[in-house]
Amino acid sequence: MYEACPDCGQHYEPEVGFYWGAMYVSYGFSVGIVVLVGVLLYYLAHDPPVWVYVSTVAAAVLLLTPLLFRYARAVMLYFFGGVHYKPPR
């Protein structure tokens, strides 16, 4: 991750340890994925055995971890870091 935006110079870490809070955002995303995949399996696979739920949910969360990591940090930065998007004119 860059220390600052190469385009506008926005500093990406407002304070030391700022992204610890992103763990909670990531946790929220993970819970959403678990619920979504579980509901989809229930309806699309007609309530499969428990091991199918566990393995599918674990695989989905593991595969999406790189995205979750980045989006959790972005959400943390936007909501608590004082960063606001300014579209180019």
Instruction: Enumerate binding residues for Zn ion (CB under 5 A).
Output: 5, 7-8, 10
Cβ nearer to Zn ion, comparing 57 with 77: 77
Closer to Zn ion by CB, 10 or 30: give it.
Answer: 10
Q: How far from chain centre, in Å, is Cα 29?
A: 5
Tokens found for residue 24: 């909670």
Which one, 5 or 58, has the nearer CB to Zn ion? 5
Cα separations in angstroms, 67 against 7, 9, 15, 22, 42 = 22, 24, 23, 13, 25
Please give the residue whose beta carbon sits closest to Zn ion in the complex.
5
